[in-house]
């Protein structure tokens, strides 16, 4: 979501809700974290960052979509760690690549993180797939599809509610929701299929990982190298090369707004809170739009060298953004994980000494 959709009041409320969820998640992760999980959190976050750069066209709509990724993270890491990772990914996107607004960052983290991790994963995916050590491919596909669709539908509906509550873009609720939900249904199907593919890859590479993640057991002692290498290579390939093929069509949210307003013109807000957020973002964005600052795209062409019509447009700015962003995500998440692990280890040491 761009800042222009959100009022300062709604943005502040969702920043607060996100902060509370981050604090809760950090406390849970701190109590459960072992050092073996930290590299997986970082590499999985880098994979999601790179995957989100790959917008895919939605046939028959003139729009595009991209992976959310929180469901994959929840399956591999558990819901609380997944929320911390997706929050880190979206913060990096907003600060360094001007992707999503800063005022709306709380909304974006909550919409893309909370519903898949805390609702779709435990209430749908786990119920269908089960918690046993052996997975059935059919159940994985069914669970991933249904959970992916529900998570995206809830997130899309939350966008409509937040935009309507803000009241600054004058988008009629009924028309907006009737456009948002179907297009995000299609995106949810792709989300589910990609999630199933990743889960089946991980199950083949290290089946015990999924069983321990579901049971909230430490990963210590597991051979995670095949999973880390697989996800890491996929992140580099996606961010550095496949991103050239990403669709330049408006994403589902932008397309829905354009259909409601009847124009492709970008919505803008001019109050002091929006101006301050835009100023901060302009200062922090090193590669805005996943491209070099001096690169001015031609009309109808996205920044960052993304391609249309299935033809690659090789662009160093896009490749650099994919690799640089993935590395920042790995570093940020590893730092968060290290701090939480040290605090957990310190608490355990004090408890042992007092006993």
CA nearest neighbour of 115 among 77, 160, 76, 68: 68
Band of the pLDDT at 33, cuts 50, 70, 90? confident
Find the helix packing angle between 207-215 and 173-205, rounded to 10°.
130
160 or 315, greater pLDDT? 160
Q: Are 291 and 318 in contact (CB under 8 A)?
A: yes
- Which pLDDT belongs to residue 267? 79
Band of the pLDDT at 354, cuts 50, 70, 90? low
- Which pLDDT belongs to residue 341? 87
For the segment 95-126, what is each residue's pLDDT rounded down to a tens digit?
A: 999 999 999 999 999 999 999 999 999 999 99
Mean local confidence (pLDDT), 9-36: 94
Query: What is the token pair recorded at 111?
Result: 């919409």
Quote the pTM value. Answer: 0.90
Q: Are 50 and 89 in contact (CB under 8 A)?
A: no
How far is residue 146's CA from residue 284's CA, in Å, rounded to a whole number?
A: 38
Q: Are 90 and 106 in contact (CB under 8 A)?
A: no
How far is residue 166's CA from residue 100's CA, in Å, rounded to a whole number?
A: 17
For the segment 239-297, what is each residue's pLDDT rounded down to a tens digit?
A: 998 888 888 888 999 889 888 888 777 777 778 899 999 999 999 999 999 988 765 44
Q: Are 321 and 244 in contact (CB under 8 A)?
A: no
Q: Which domain holds residue 251?
A: 3-293+301-354
Mean pLDDT of the chain: 89
| CATH number of the domain to which 158 belongs | 1.10.1760.20
Q: Determine the number of helices (DSSP H) and then strands (DSSP E) in the chain.
A: 13, 2
Does position 25 have pLDDT exceeding 80, yes or no? yes
Band of the pLDDT at 353, cuts 50, 70, 90? low
Domain count, the chain: 1
């Amino acid at each position: 979501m761009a800042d222009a959709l959100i009022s300062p009041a709604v943005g502040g409320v969702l920043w607060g809700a996100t902060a509370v969820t981050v604090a809760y998640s950090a406390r849970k992760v701190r109590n459960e974290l072992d050092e073996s999980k930290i590299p997986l959190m970082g590499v999985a976050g880098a994979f999601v960052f790179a995957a989100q750069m790959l917008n895919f066209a939605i046939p028959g709509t003139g729009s595009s979509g991209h992976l959310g990724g929180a469901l994959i993270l929840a399956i591999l890491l558990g819901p609380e760690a997944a929320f911390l990772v997706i929050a880190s990914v979206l913060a990096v996107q907003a600060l360094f690549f001007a992707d999503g607004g800063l005022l709306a960052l709380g909304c974006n983290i909550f919409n893309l993180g909370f519903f898949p991790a805390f609702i779709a994963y435990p209430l749908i995916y786990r119920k269908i797939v089960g918690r046993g050590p052996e997975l059935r491919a059919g159940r994985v596909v069914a669970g991933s599809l249904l959970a992916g669709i529900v998570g995206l539908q809830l997130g899309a509906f939350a966008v409509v509610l937040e935009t309507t509550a803000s009241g600054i873009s004058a988008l009629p609720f009924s028309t907006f929701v009737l456009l948002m939900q179907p297009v995000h249904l299609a995106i949810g199907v792709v989300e589910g299929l990609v999630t199933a593919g990743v889960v089946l890859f991980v199950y083949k590479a290290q089946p015990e990982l999924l069983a321990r993640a579901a049971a909230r057991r430490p990963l210590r002692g597991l051979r995670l190298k095949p999973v880390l290498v697989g996800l890491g290579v996929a992140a580099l390939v996606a961010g550095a090369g496949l991103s050239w093929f990403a669709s330049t069509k408006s994403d589902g949210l932008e397309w829905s707004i354009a259909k409601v307003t009847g124009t492709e013109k970008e919505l803008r807000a001019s109050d002091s809170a929006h101006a301050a957020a835009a100023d901060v973002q302009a200062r922090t964005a090193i590669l805005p739009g996943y491209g070099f600052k001096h690169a001015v795209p031609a009309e109808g062409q996205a920044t960052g060298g993304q391609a249309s019509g299935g033809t690659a447009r090789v662009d160093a700015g896009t490749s650099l953004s994919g690799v640089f962003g993935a590395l920042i995500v790995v570093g940020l998440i590893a730092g968060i994980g290290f701090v939480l692990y040290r605090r957990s280890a310190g608490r355990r040491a004090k408890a042992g000494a007092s006993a």
